[in-house]
Structure 1
Amino acid sequence: MQTLDQSDRFTFLHIDLNSFFASVEQELHPEYRNRPLAVVPTLGDTTCCIAASYEAKALTIKTGTQVGEAKRLCPEIILVQGNHNVYAEFSHKIAAAVERCCPVAHTPSIDEMVCQLIGREQEPPRARKIALEIKQAIKDDVGQTLRCSIGMAPNRYLAKIASDMQKPDGLIGLLPSQLPRAVAHLELRDLPGVGAKTEVRLNAKGITTMESLLALDRPGMHKLWDSVWGDRLYHWLRGADTGDDGAPVDSGVQKSLGHSHVLGPEHRSQGGSWAVAHKLLHKASMRLRMEKFYAGSMGVTIRYQLTREQAARMKSKKHFSGIKHSSWGMEARFRDCQDTLTLLSVLRSVWQQSPQGPEFERPFFVGVTLRNLIPESEFQESLFGDEGNRGELSATMDKLNLKYGHTTLHFAGMLPARDSAPTRIAFTQIPVQYGVDYM
């Protein structure tokens, strides 16, 4: 009888929800099930799909496919405008279902969770049983259409890789005794952290396949990446635990927060874009206070749509929607503050310095970011106190907006955009609920 290698254990489970946004829509709307569906930020042909059901993926429609192209590939495709609040609620429900089987140790994004196994849980049969219990708990507690792929491995990096190896509804384990040969068949782009630009750089250095990457020794990997990342990757791919398990190094200090928005056609003007920027700042300043920070600078970005003639004679970029554009940005520093009225005056001052002329008459994207954050505990009060009771005014607005919705009470400048720029779908973080809204 063959005995199991005692070193063959799984330390991490990586749970990847399959076509999460699209699956939520199919769970809420039974009539959408087994039909091609795409979730979109706005209902317009120039925008892109942010999620696609597996029925749509079978027709080569995926995240990033332009809506007009998706309609060409599948005229009967169902297009649903994404609802950030609903996806956040489902994510929390799924986390609770997973917790019923195994504690969630880390949440990399809204559709991913990581569990760390301990003791006898690490034995492959027990780890597999826990993974199957997680799948069933999600179906029982949240919905039948919500499937997940689970990767089991000795470190987090490999667990994430394994979760992508079989979709949908997959369950793959990478045992130490099988490594690194168990990943030798993958493409370089299958490695987390290796995108298109990195792949080109690796190819230029003679690394074109996973086999050629795995053939390098540790010094060779360090030289290839020219950083400690190469050393880490060498060990991760062989099943070792380096202490950070593939997680990004987090300084523990939040540096910025903000919001951005692709403008709807009705707001692609100077007045419309200002109203949207005003609303973005309204949301950001409220978050600033809820998360107990003060900001010391503000960055503003505007992108302007160009005509074909303008793009031909100017330096331009191409947005993922296909729009050719030019960009302008500016950062302003100020005394640390967190009240909306002071931040609004900064935004107005920056906005007045935005470029003028025929090339800047069609803004289509606005971003507002508050930077140089410091915790409230480190803020030094002004000798003159709360000038104009601005802090009290913001606190009063927050009370009402938390109770009735974050646009209940606001300054008049954002009125034309009050119902636009909804909270964006979060790919890289779990949204936080403040009062009745997620932000």
Structure 2
Amino acid sequence: MDLVLPQHDFFGFLHVDLNSFFASVEQQLNPEYRNRPLAVVPTFADTTVAIAASYEAKALGIKTGTRVADMKQICPDILLVQGNHTTYAEFSHKIHAAVERCCPVAHVPSIDEVTCQLIGREQEPPRARQIALSIKQAIRDDVGETLRCSIGMAPNRYLAKIASDMQKPDGLVGLLPSQLPRSLLQLELRDLPGVGARTELMLNRKGVTTMEQLLALSREQMHKLWNSVWGERLYHWLRGHVTGDDGAPVPRETQQSLGHSHVLAPEHRSAEGAWAVAHKLLHKAAMRLRMEHFCAGTLSLTIRYQVSRAEEAQAAKLQQHHSGIRHHNWGMEARFPATQDTLSLLEALRELWQKQPTGPGTGRPFFVGITLNRLTDERAQQPDLFRDTHARNELSRALDRLNLKHGHTTVHFAGMLPARDSAPTRIAFTQIPVQYGVDYM
């Protein structure tokens, strides 16, 4: 690990975090929504949850993950808006352009975050602060007045992310090397990127319940606490050291899987409706597979079934979805020679579909997930002497050409017709959506 210790107070990174991004986009596009409690939801059902909430809704206690039924109890007049993936992706790209006017974008961690790396005199605190303020103004001028962001400044990327969360909305916080690590003492363990509920429980079991206790550990103790080099890296990051990776996720050389999942709208919570949605999810995944020049060797199907109170005693191994729906899961994987054509993948899906369980607790599917695994580069595939794949591949590519031009559900197989307008592209939190033709996926 190449370690650079801070010699003076400087900021190496700016982390820009858009506040209530999806809700703010809706308020920008619809002035009548401004200054009103608003929640963005994936579908209009009381069992679904908010994927974003406006500042006004947050002031009432409504936040990401709040169930629609609970929101209506808190605020009967709350505005519910169905999320629009394409619109948010377009706004995200506009924000990148606005930031670029002030400072080059170095990383794009998610759809509502941007990181800039500072160089030379830009690292001096007064100059870094001036750049941060210019970014805020550029977003307001170029993208919209409702779009506000919190910016964190720090010597490394990990701390810049932490700083951006310390003051919301519209915050600007800098963490100088000379103030570290004492300026982090007021944080909770869950405030650290990479520390979720499970990691927090692990730390608690090992006797670490506060930031003060964590920061008191030596580098060797941090390594032992995590039982990996991650603990050692975290020790350095929290002290403002520059390690060369700055908290960035380690990229994989080859993508391992791709897929889509969807919580079914009430009108599709039947065997026929779930099949139509699964058909559409596969249609989208297969198209992405070809656009990204992969072939898949396995297909995984996951179904979650809603269980009524009367069926709970008969159904085994129940779980609870974040929406509060009591359910049990079923899943199975099909293996086949590597392929990328929709018809072959659809045949595999149909075989899996016929193997799903029957009996108590399986009459109301409410979630379907499709994942294509064992991805390989299409250029590495050898011709199969026993299968005529050329005609199928040509058919799939012909469908792609039409769907890229007119929208990805313009031409499709009949099985997905009942769900043609359902299961829209989901909101991407951890990556920027890719535009294929006229649609984002």
Q: With the length of structure 1 as denominator, give the TM-score of the two structures.
A: 0.97
What corresponds to 2:290 in structure 1?
A: 289
CA displacement 1:123-181 (0-9 Å, x = unmatched): 11111111111111100000000000000111111000000000001010111111001
SS in 1 for 2:106: strand
What corresponds to 2:430 in structure 1?
A: 428
Q: Distance in 2 between matches of 1:403 and 1:105?
A: 32
Deviation of 1:384 (Å): 5.4
What corresponds to 1:71 in structure 2?
A: 72
Moved more, 355-364 or 385-394: 385-394
What corresponds to 2:3 in structure 1?
A: none
Q: Distance in 1 between matches of 2:312 and 2:232?
A: 44
SS in 2 for 1:367: strand
Q: Does 1:331 align with 2:319?
A: no
What corresponds to 2:389 in structure 1?
A: 387
Q: Does 1:231 align with 2:232?
A: yes
Q: Distance in 2 between matches of 1:136 and 1:187?
A: 31
SS in 2 for 1:360: coil
What corresponds to 1:26 in structure 2?
A: 27
What corresponds to 1:185 in structure 2?
A: 186
What corresponds to 1:371 in structure 2?
A: 373
Q: Distance in 1 between matches of 2:388 and 2:291?
A: 18
Q: Distance in 1 between matches of 2:393 and 2:34?
A: 49
Deviation of 1:6 (Å): 5.7
Q: Distance in 2 between matches of 1:219 and 1:182?
A: 22
Aligned pair in 2 of structure 1 residues 388, 373: CA closer, same or farther (>3 Å)?
closer
Contact 2:311 2:360 survives alignment (8 Å):
no
Moved more, 247-256 or 230-239: 247-256
Aligned AA (1:296): G
SS in 2 for 1:421: coil
SS in 2 for 1:400: helix
What corresponds to 2:159 in structure 1?
A: 158
Q: Distance in 2 between matches of 1:381 and 1:142?
A: 49
Aligned AA (2:90): E
What corresponds to 1:356 in structure 2?
A: 358
Aligned AA (2:362): F
Q: Distance in 1 between matches of 2:156 and 2:311?
A: 51
Work out the percentage of aligned pairs sharing the same amino acid.
Answer: 74
**Structure 1 spans left out of the alignment, 5+ residues:** none
Moved more, 129-138 or 380-389: 380-389
Deviation of 1:385 (Å): 7.0
Deviation of 1:28 (Å): 0.5
Q: Distance in 2 between matches of 1:79 and 1:412?
A: 32
Q: Distance in 2 between matches of 1:387 and 1:142?
A: 47
Aligned pair in 2 of structure 1 residues 386, 92: CA closer, same or farther (>3 Å)?
farther
What corresponds to 1:208 in structure 2?
A: 209
What corresponds to 2:84 in structure 1?
A: 83
CA displacement 1:99-134 (0-9 Å, x = unmatched): 111111111110011111111111111111111111
Aligned AA (2:411): L
Q: Distance in 2 between matches of 1:163 and 1:252?
A: 30
- Paired residues for 1:32-431 under 5 Å: 32-313=33-314, 314-383=316-385, 386-387=388-389, 389-431=391-433
Aligned AA (2:52): A
Contact 2:159 2:240 survives alignment (8 Å):
yes
Q: CA RMSD in A?
A: 1.2
Q: Distance in 2 between matches of 1:114 and 1:141?
A: 18
CA displacement 1:23-65 (0-9 Å, x = unmatched): 0001011111111111011111111111001111010100000
The number of residues matched between the two structures is: 435
Q: Distance in 1 between matches of 2:47 and 2:313?
A: 21
Q: Does 1:15 align with 2:28?
A: no
Q: Distance in 1 between matches of 2:110 and 2:385?
A: 42
Q: Distance in 1 between matches of 2:193 and 2:389?
A: 49
Q: Distance in 2 between matches of 1:118 and 1:194?
A: 29
What corresponds to 1:437 in structure 2?
A: 439
Q: With the length of structure 2 as denominator, give the TM-score of the two structures.
A: 0.97
